[in-house]
Amino acid sequence: MMKRRKKVTTIATILLAGILLASTVWMASAHFTMVFPSDSEDTVWDVTPEDYIAELGDTKTVYMMWGHPYEHISFDMASVPEVSVMKPDGTVEQLTTTQITVDGMDEEGNPGTFVAYKASFTVDQMGDSIVFVKYEDEDQKLTDYVKMVIHCGVEAWEGWDAEIGQKAEIVPFTRPYGLEEGFVFTGTTLYDGNALPDADVEVEMYHTLDLGKEVVETAETMFPYDPPMMFTRVTKTNAAGEFAYTLDEPGIWFVGAYGPEIGGLTQRSVFIIPVLDAFPPKEEAEAAAPAGLEELKSRVKSLEDKVAALKTSAGKGAPGFGAIAAIAGLLIVVYLVKRRKR
């Protein structure tokens, strides 16, 4: 009897572990509606933060794909996405979608072509145009409400924080362009216009195909106990529906907040954020350092060593005149360094 009970317990444990593993894989390998502005279908995967910037009169084509941004895995889009653009003056233009195919990689790592969509619009106003997309996928039991910003014009920072009235929506507190790596992105999540408290927020960075393979292999080597924890980061909203997350690498980031389930489909709001390299570039920052600064730093280090040696030789007693003079010299040099830094 004891053996049978132990066997049943073991089977139950295995089944529970399997359920938890399946749940973990679903959460970690998050599907996202990827909305990329690009010059052509051939370069759609080579999106950069600069692609989210436009000149007045430009025609912007946005491509909509379905997949895992971090691992660069693609799937067919199961339904036609609805796409519109809100212009800086608040007018909304519904865009016409065209079905296309894009090259990609499936879950098994095999190359293939996948159903995607595109739509175009003309940037005819200075300021920030918000492209917003609704996409339903019954297999994944998800409805995505996606937003991204196309910015046009020097200091024309108008419209990026507009609430556009999506069923599920992220409204940013942080302007979603001009951000560099290490900046914190903040916002609030809404459902039916009301704050969405205590909601899971997944954060995932996009990688190109080669880089996606590389980082996944690295994660599997370094963190064999749970590689996907490095793919999809998770935070939560507070009681007011607000959240914050540090975007610590340059590239394209996806932030998705999970809302309620309606008709068997979880309602999720997604915001896409382009992040730039650190500014100014490191080499330029070093070149801009005050003349002679490195020499002063070296002298400070030398004096510190001398003071340490004097303290050692003096033991626990009061420092002698030489030690006092050295400390005074050190303070003078530190003062000069600080003045040069200014």
CB 265 within 8 A of CB 138: yes
- Whole domain around residue 246: which residue ranges? 31-275
Strands 127-137 and 194-195: unpaired
Same domain, 46 and 187: yes
With vertex at residue 65, the alpha carbon angle to CA 60 and CA 67, rounded to the nearest 5 degrees, is 145
In degrees and rounded to multiples of 5, residue 151 shows phi and psi of: -100, 140
User: Which of 89-93, 103-107, 238-242 has the lowest average pLDDT?
Assistant: 103-107
Residue 306 has pLDDT above 80, yes or no: no
Strands 92-94 and 233-236: unpaired
Same domain, 293 and 208: no
Same domain, 198 and 55: yes
What is the value of pTM for the model shown?
A: 0.76
Residue 191 has pLDDT above 80, yes or no: yes
Alpha-carbon distance 231 to 203, whole Å?
A: 9
Same domain, 224 and 121: yes
Does residue 283 lie within any of the structural domains? Answer: no
Final residue in a domain of this structure, among 275, 309, 331: 275
Same domain, 139 and 11: no
pLDDT digits (tens, 9 = 90+) for 178-187: 999 999 999 9
Does residue 45 lie within any of the structural domains? Answer: yes
Same domain, 179 and 323: no
Residue type, 98: T
Residue 188 has pLDDT above 60, yes or no: yes
pLDDT class of 290 with cuts at 50, 70, 90? low
Alpha-carbon distance 254 to 62, whole Å?
A: 16
Same domain, 111 and 244: yes
Residue 218 has pLDDT above 60, yes or no: yes
Same domain, 299 and 198: no
- Report how many domains make up the chain: 3
Does residue 284 lie within any of the structural domains? Answer: no
Among 130, 119, 64, CA closest to 273: 130
Same domain, 76 and 139: yes
Same domain, 297 and 230: no
Residue-level pLDDT at 214: 95
Cα–Cα separations (whole angstroms), residue 251 to 32, 39, 86: 16, 17, 24
Alpha-carbon distance 136 to 235, whole Å?
A: 24
User: Which of 68-72, 270-274, 307-311 has the lowest average pLDDT?
Assistant: 307-311
pLDDT class of 43 with cuts at 50, 70, 90? confident
Same domain, 269 and 310: no
CB 170 within 8 A of CB 187: yes
Same domain, 25 and 37: no
Does residue 132 lie within any of the structural domains? Answer: yes
